[in-house]
């Protein structure tokens, strides 16, 4: 993101330092004049970031004193497209998937009509279900009797410690029959295969945007995929042209927009979360507000990472038949931040709407949209799909739905 004129002197300084060290490592010392020149050329303040320790507020410099220019500005959040797009889709058998954080919410989702339940593995401090093996065995046994799939999801980001802990956990999970694993990285696929997990879901952190990637994941052992959360409706149709695996899509709820190793709450309080921390993250819910007054929910996990969610919940309810016509195998509700009662409300609404579409009816969804807004307290939008911009030749009545994949 810099010009050659800016980079060349900096590269030269590092080249000289590396050469000087390997010429005489025992007597190497930093060249003071080189460091002064490096400092004179800085645009932002320098920091070692996370190389040697977890930085505090000094590693962020929110003042912007050295770089006061803003190269981008907050744009309005996408709106919700509501029109005459709910049309009967009796030939499409769309699986309803609900992603939750707690055991009560998981049980509620099944009662409300979920076809599959995914159990969140992020370890959010305010929404941490702490699923035990005994509960999982009982829950999966009951779910299997109702023909409901169950999966446990990996954390979105995994360092060496996370992978070691996940390896320990997945070894225990492998003893439970009919349990799927949703993985967020290639190492997760390898661990799942080593532990003989039969159903491996390539989750959306793998950022799957095309059928070539999906095919490669299939050869690695994935049995179904969750499409990238950034795909527009047009790009989703591109992915669905030659799908080898069942493709699931996030169609309702907040989506992680950014994941930070830096703790915003600790930084704002002027402390380092790795020191003695007053644990502000456990005292209540927080949001980050941008220049246009949009609120972005902030969640902290057990590793002090900060998850910043989108300011609006994606909602495809008004365009559900259009989504179904693409041939996706499942529609996923992100309910991991919601209470059991909220999970029940949203799951019930989508269940009823899907059933109406299959029965050849055209459901009214205006009251349901208002109910979703009231129960979540969050605004709704098309998310990345941007249905308003969909051209006529991409609308559902002109699409030929591929064969739906079910396993």
Could you tell me the two tokens for 134?
């005994």
Whether the CA torsion 393, 397, 402, 406 is positive or negative: it is: positive
What does the pLDDT read at residue 406? 41
Residue 34, pLDDT above cutoff 50: yes
- Greater model confidence, 24 or 268: 24
pLDDT in tens, 163-177: 999 999 999 999 998
Q: What sections of 209-304 are H helices per DSSP? A: 211-220, 233-239, 264-268
pLDDT value of residue 73: 67
> Which pLDDT band holds residue 224 (cuts at 50, 70, 90)?
very high
Of residues 204 and 71, more confidence is placed in 204
Round to whole Å and give the CA distance between 209 and 251.
Answer: 16
E-assigned strand segments in 290-387: 295-300, 306-309, 313-315, 330-334, 380-381
Supply the pLDDT for residue 401.
39
Share of the chain above pLDDT 90, in %: 62
| Strongest mean pLDDT among 76-85, 321-330, 371-380 | 371-380
Q: Which letter, b or e, does each residue of 110-121 get, where b requires 16 or more Cβ atoms within 10 Å of its Cβ?
A: bebbbbbbbbbb
Q: Is the pLDDT of residue 402 over 50?
A: no
CB atoms within 10 A of CB 239: 24
Mean pLDDT of 72-96: 73
360-395: per-residue pLDDT in tens? 887 788 899 999 999 999 999 999 998 887 655 544
- pLDDT of 214 reads 92
Q: Looking at residues 204-224, what average pLDDT do you find?
A: 94
- Distance (Å, whole) CA 202 – CA 239: 15
Rounded to a whole number of angstroms, the distance between the first and last alpha carbons of the chain is: 46
Instruction: With CA atoms as reference, report the closest residue to 221 among 166, 180, 175, 162.
Output: 180
Ordered by start, the domain boundaries in the chain are 4-45, 95-255+310-398, 258-309
- Here the tokens at position 363 are 């459901």
Query: What's the pLDDT score for residue 277?
Result: 83
Determine the pLDDT at residue 293: 85
pTM above 0.85, yes or no: no
Task: Give, in order, the Cα–Cα distances in Å from 382 to each of 140, 232, 253, 405.
Answer: 33, 10, 11, 25
Q: What is the reported pLDDT for 49?
A: 79
DSSP tag of 301:
B
190 to each of 200, 202, 221, 273, how far by Cα in Å?
10, 12, 8, 32
pLDDT computed for residue 404 by the predictor: 42
Q: C-alpha distances in angstroms, 179 versus 119, 139, 140, 143, 199?
A: 11, 10, 7, 10, 8
Six-digit token string for 323: 């989504």
Cα separation, 396 vs 240, in Å, equals 14
CB 151 within 8 A of CB 109: no
Domain 95-255+310-398 has CATH 3.20.20.70: yes
- With a cut of 50, say whether residue 93 has pLDDT above it: yes
- Tell me the average pLDDT across 207-222: 94
Give the model's confidence band at 205: pLDDT under 50 very low, under 70 low, under 90 confident, else very high.
Answer: very high
């Amino acid at each position: 993101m810099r010009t050659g004129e800016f980079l060349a002197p900096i590269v030269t300084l590092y080249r000289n330092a590396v050469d000087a060290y390997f010429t005489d490592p025992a007597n190497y010392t930093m060249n003071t004049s080189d460091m002064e020149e490096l400092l004179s050329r800085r645009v932002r303040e320098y920091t070692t970031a996370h190389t040697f320790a977890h930085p505090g507020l000094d590693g962020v410099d929110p003042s912007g004193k050295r770089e006061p220019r803003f190269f981008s500005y907050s744009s309005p959040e996408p709106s919700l497209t509501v029109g005459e797009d709910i049309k009967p889709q009796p030939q499409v058998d769309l699986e309803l998937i609900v992603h939750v954080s707690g055991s009560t919410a998981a049980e509620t989702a099944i009662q409300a009509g979920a076809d599959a339940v995914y159990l969140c593995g992020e370890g959010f401090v305010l929404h941490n279900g702490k699923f035990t093996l005994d509960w999982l065995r009982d829950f999966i046994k009951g779910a299997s009797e109702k023909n409901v799939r169950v999966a446990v999801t990996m954390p979105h980001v995994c360092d060496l410690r996370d992978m070691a802990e996940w390896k320990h956990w997945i070894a225990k999970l492998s003893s439970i029959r009919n349990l799927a694993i949703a993985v967020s990285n290639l190492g997760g696929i390898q661990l799942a295969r080593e532990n003989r997990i039969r159903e491996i879901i390539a989750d959306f952190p793998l950022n799957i945007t095309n059928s070539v990637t999906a095919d490669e994941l299939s050869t690695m052992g994935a049995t179904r995929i969750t499409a990238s959360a950034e795909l527009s409706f047009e790009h989703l149709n591109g992915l669905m042209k030659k799908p080898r695996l069942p493709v699931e899509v996030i169609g309702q709820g907040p989506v992680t927009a950014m994941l930070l190793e830096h703790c915003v709450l600790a930084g704002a309080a002027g402390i380092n979360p790795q020191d003695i921390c007053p644990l502000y993250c456990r005292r209540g819910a927080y949001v980050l507000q941008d220049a246009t007054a949009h609120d972005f929910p902030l969640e902290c996990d057990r590793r002090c990472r900060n998850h910043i969610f989108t300011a609006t919940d994606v909602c495809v309810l008004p365009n559900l038949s259009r989504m179904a016509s693409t041939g996706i195998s499942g529609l996923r509700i992100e309910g991991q931040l919601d209470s059991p009662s909220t999970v029940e409300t949203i799951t019930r609404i989508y269940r009823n709407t899907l059933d109406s579409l299959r029965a050849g009816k055209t459901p009214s969804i205006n009251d349901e949209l208002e109910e979703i807004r009231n129960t979540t307290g969050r605004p709704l939008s098309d998310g990345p799909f941007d249905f308003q911009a969909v051209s006529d030749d991409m609308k559902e009545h002109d699409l030929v739905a591929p064969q739906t994949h079910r396993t």
